[in-house]
Structure 1
Amino acid sequence: MNASILNAQIQLSSEYCETHRAQKVLVGRTAICKQCATEILNKAHQDHEIEVNRMVREKHFEGAKLPARHANNGFRNYLVENNGQQNAKQQCTSFTKDFNEGMNRNLIMVGRTGTGKTHLACAVARNVLQSRKYARYITSEDMGNEIANAWKKADDNESNAIHRFTEYDLLILDEYGLHDRYENRLQLVHKVLYARYDQAKPTMLISNMTIEELQKDLGDRLWSRFQHDGLVTVECNWEDQRTGGAA
């Protein structure tokens, strides 16, 4: 019955489509070209898909909470003036490529302040986000404070806060060891790192400590876990670029 109704409503028109050189059909009292109609529908579908992808991308970037100063940092605008910087860039691009292909390793980046560690970290995050994965940037101090203060919010607690940080595909933890010594804040940060290990989720850890100092601060058990699935270490030992030192 539906087919009969459809055939009764759609009839050949005396008009022709100049674009497709095809006879139009009547839909009600309107003459249309079937190919034109299909192209319009396809274009509308493509536009909708583009808009959905844009909204998803914006949501991912917003949720990553990259610092405003570094929000547009990428590998292309990372300044390379010495072998150390070239190595750091190469290590971070390889880590990103491997991550996007499903290889979940951890990365530790250490070195002096002002050597571009956060720039590279945000470059990694931006590439991960472009691949529609979830990444989150946060300082060790802010993470510890957020978890410690979770109980002040309705329907929240320490366990929930730790779980939120565990769920990200990639966690970028900056300024480890700088301002995270207050009370039990560092223990809370370590709980997140243990939880991410248990869930096989990779973490980027950034610190002004040396590798040796960081290993001691994390402790043998956590340091061992960081290396389990493969560990990339990047040392940034050139001069502070913010103060005009030799890069």
Structure 2
Amino acid sequence: MISDETKRKLRELNLDEMVDILKIQGDDQPLYTTMTFDERITLAIDSLYQCKNNKRSNRLMKQARFRFADADVNSIYYANRGLDKNQIIELSTCQYMRNNYSVVLNGFTGSGKTFLACALGKAACRQLYRVRYIRVPELLELRAEAALQGKGISKLVSKFSNYHLLILDEWLLQELSDEDVRFIFELTEKRYDCHSTIFCTQYKVSDWHTRLGGGTVADAILDRIVHKSIRIDTGSMNMREHFSEKTLL
């Protein structure tokens, strides 16, 4: 049984979990009394490591501001959607992020793009990557507000370029001003070959150039996205209708 002074020191070191772990080990349980000191300390450190990582990943999930907080790779619906389950599982390992690839989720309204993106984002949080979800219209509102400040736009670009994974929902849904397009270029330039982005869009990549206003800036944005991206068609099934019908049955 550890002393109160030892407990105080552990808590002062922000190791509250270790107090609980050692208390469990201190109880008269056959599992621990038959273990060697090295085995017990290894088990205690492994438990502490897991507790700390769980707390950190939960904190990262909250900071990511996912639209669907309950999204999870294990709860993705695959039947009649044309999704490759093995591909989704592979993406959940975050290898594409380590290779600085992006993901384009293309599909009709309600086809589950956002849910899938949030599920992949949560998988990244579990591996302790910094993730942020945001709708592009909201991001452009932030750009407009930042334009009223001295160096507001450069600060905004820096902020969103530093996330390990950025999820841009409703990509190219609205018409863009020249200022919006230049902002998007700066953001994609900062993130290119350095961090990953998930684009959720109703438009095929072949339509992006026009949606970005055409011209050399649109060329530059596409060049920084399409050559290192994984494209997934989420299909035409309306998942909202599907699950509402199942609820009524």
| TM-score between both structures, scaled by the size of structure 2 | 0.69
Determine the structure 2 residue equivalent to 1:187. Answer: 182
Write the distance in 1 (CA, Å) between the matches of 2:143 and 2:190. Answer: 14
Determine the structure 2 residue equivalent to 1:225. Answer: 224
* 1:36 shift after superposition: 10
Which amino acid in 1 is paired with 2:226?
Answer: Q
Determine the structure 2 residue equivalent to 1:76. Answer: 74
2:175 touches 2:211 (CA, 8 Å); kept in 1? no
Q: How many residues align?
A: 207
Deviations 1:75-105 (A, max 9, x none): 2211111251x32x44333333253772221
Alignment of 1:190-229 (within 5 A): 190-197=185-192, 200-218=194-212, 219-228=218-227
Write the distance in 1 (CA, Å) between the matches of 2:47 and 2:148. Answer: 43
Alignment of 1:44-123 (within 5 A): 49-67=49-67, 70-82=68-80, 84=82, 86-87=83-84, 89-99=85-95, 102-123=98-119
Determine the structure 2 residue equivalent to 1:23. Answer: none
* 1:243 shift after superposition: 2.8
Write the distance in 1 (CA, Å) between the matches of 2:156 and 2:200. Answer: 21
1:180 touches 1:186 (CA, 8 Å); kept in 2? no
Which amino acid in 2 is paired with 1:131?
Answer: Q
Determine the structure 2 residue equivalent to 1:177. Answer: 172
SS at match of 1:181: coil
Write the distance in 2 (CA, Å) between the matches of 1:180 and 1:170. Answer: 25
* 1:206 shift after superposition: 1.1
Deviations 1:5-31 (A, max 9, x none): xxxxxxxxxxxxxx8xxxxxxxxxxxx
* Residues 152 and 83 (structure 1), Cα distance of their counterparts in 2 relative to 1, 3 Å cut: closer
| TM-score between both structures, scaled by the size of structure 1 | 0.70
2:97 touches 2:165 (CA, 8 Å); kept in 1? no
Q: Give structure 1 stretches of 5+ with no counterpart.
A: 1-18, 20-34
Deviations 1:156-179 (A, max 9, x none): 711111101000111111101224
* 1:40 shift after superposition: 8.8
Write the distance in 1 (CA, Å) between the matches of 2:203 and 2:173. Answer: 9
* 1:46 shift after superposition: 6.0
Write the distance in 2 (CA, Å) between the matches of 1:43 and 1:94. Answer: 30
Aligned: 1:158 with 2:153? yes
* Residues 80 and 234 (structure 1), Cα distance of their counterparts in 2 relative to 1, 3 Å cut: same
2:104 touches 2:231 (CA, 8 Å); kept in 1? yes
* Residues 37 and 156 (structure 1), Cα distance of their counterparts in 2 relative to 1, 3 Å cut: farther
* 1:151 shift after superposition: 5.8
SS at match of 2:134: strand
* 1:225 shift after superposition: 1.6
* 1:45 shift after superposition: 5.8
* Residues 40 and 165 (structure 1), Cα distance of their counterparts in 2 relative to 1, 3 Å cut: same
SS at match of 1:203: strand
* Residues 152 and 63 (structure 1), Cα distance of their counterparts in 2 relative to 1, 3 Å cut: farther
Identity of aligned residues (%): 21
SS at match of 2:92: helix
* Residues 41 and 186 (structure 1), Cα distance of their counterparts in 2 relative to 1, 3 Å cut: same
SS at match of 1:97: coil
- Between structures 1 and 2, the one with greater strand share: 1
* Residues 190 and 141 (structure 1), Cα distance of their counterparts in 2 relative to 1, 3 Å cut: farther
2:140 touches 2:180 (CA, 8 Å); kept in 1? yes
Determine the structure 2 residue equivalent to 1:136. Answer: 132
Q: Give structure 2 stretches of 5+ with no counterpart.
A: 1-27, 29-34, 213-217
